[in-house]
Copies of this chain bind each other. A is one copy, B any other.
Amino acid sequence: MNKMITLEKNNFLYQKIADNFENQILTEILKSGDKLPSVRVICKQYGVSLSTALQAYYFLESKNLIQARPNSGYYVNYSSRRFSTSDKSTQPSLNIDDNLADKLISRVFQEIARHDETVMFSLGVPSTDLLPVAKLNKAMVAALRELPASGTRYEHIQGNIKLRKQIAHWAYTWNGKFTESDVITTAGCINAISFCLSSLAKPGDTIAVESPCYFGVLQLAKSLGLRIMEIPTHLQNGIEIDELKKAIESKKINICLLVSNFSNPLGSCIPTENKKEIVKLLEINNIPLIEDDLYGDMYFGKQRPQTCKTFDESGNVLLCSSVSKTLAPGYRVGWVIPGKYKDKVLNTKLYQTISTTTLTQEVIANFMENGRYEHHLLKMRHALFGNCLQLMRAVNEYFPENTRITKPSGGFMLWVELDEKINTAALFEQALKQKVSIAPGRVFTTQDLYNNCLRLNYSWIWNDKIEQAIKTLGAIIHKMLKQS
């Protein structure tokens, strides 16, 4: 605790200066290409040392908001034109299942362990450069030493107790108050969601989800025989509560699943007041809420957004998450805080898999101790925000004029809406030939929607190859537009 307070004090001055400029850039008071005051002017203006002024500029540079030009100074390197208007919502129709997207989804999914030269904008996989591999290996060596029989034994069914303590502790960042007995570990977040759905829903039941919705969830729900009801969703504020209400009134909904923070694929974030209202609405109607908070720790703003679970007094919310986006997808370490459904979910885990991998749980527990996770996330958020801004800039630069994009405030995903004449399923195939992989919009729905949309993942360190890949995509889209 003391350590964190000290950290904040040291950061205070340069951070304050950087924040000022960041606000001016994001609100376009300072526009792309504008020259910033010299470092000496900053020193005078804020009464700070040269090193503090430089630190502020380095910070902004690391976020890709500004750029140094040799012998000239710092310039704004960011443009926010063409964001989607914030009052737009998607308009799915009521519950028309189909299977047309399945083949497309399989093609996208198959790439998950691809190690060739293809630039992968298609999957929410973090770049290895963003992961603390060396530190995890150190924690691994410690785990091999500390665990009985080096982790060859079965772990407790509920999960490694050290890890569960760390997860419960970490929940404080979103005002969750839990102990290790509230947590069940899983083999990743989708595995947690799978356990929840298997425990609470039966074939023929209806599940309400956002539209568009992560294709993995759609496929899982369909494989369990569930009927999917896609609810209109605001590009920035997530699911439309009034539409959810209407759906509940008009039809039996058995379960609801939401990605509350920096959703996949929209990057939307449900405002705190809406979260409270959703929790209440579902509780009154006796509809369990599975909350996918996989991206919640990767916020670009000043504060970790809260969760629906934060406001869950009755235990009706099952919060699912993992370290697959922040530390190590290949470790398969995730968790669920299942509230009053704990016994059911624990039994499902036991029946389907007994326990999850002993060793990787211990490694993550080791890593989360002593503030290492927080330290790592600080750096990662920073890098992601920089990547996000670069991607937005590049899309603005290379894609046609009438392209519309979201404005993520966290997470991994940029949602792009192209001219209505462009079919992004065709774009996917054409781009793949040129070694660029995207996620076409059609895979995020069971309906005939989002055919002109795509999702781009910016969890890769920006470099010339990625810049070129976006340029290639832009060129294909331009060509498709001409041919249409």
Contacts and interface: CB of A to CB of B under 8 A. Distances in A.
Given A350-B109, A351-B220, A351-B223, A357 B148 contact: no
A359 B90 CA distance: 41
Interface string A329-364: 111100000000000000110111111111110000
Contact of A152 (B151, B155, B157, B331): B331
B194 A154 contact: no
A225 interface: yes
A396 to B, nearest CB: 31
A194 B351 contact: yes
Interface stretch (A129-137, A277-285, A456-464): A129-137
A7 interface: no
Contacts of A156: 112-113
Given A330-B359, A356-B187, A216 B351 contact: yes
A325 to B, nearest CB: 11
A244 interface: no
A188 B353 contact: yes
A202 to B, nearest CB: 6
Interface in A454-479: none
A150 interface: yes
A152 B125 contact: no
A113 B220 contact: no
Interface string A144-161: 100011111111110000
Contact of A125 (B154, B157, B223, B352): B154
A355 B322 CA distance: 14
A140 interface: yes
A145 to B, nearest CB: 9
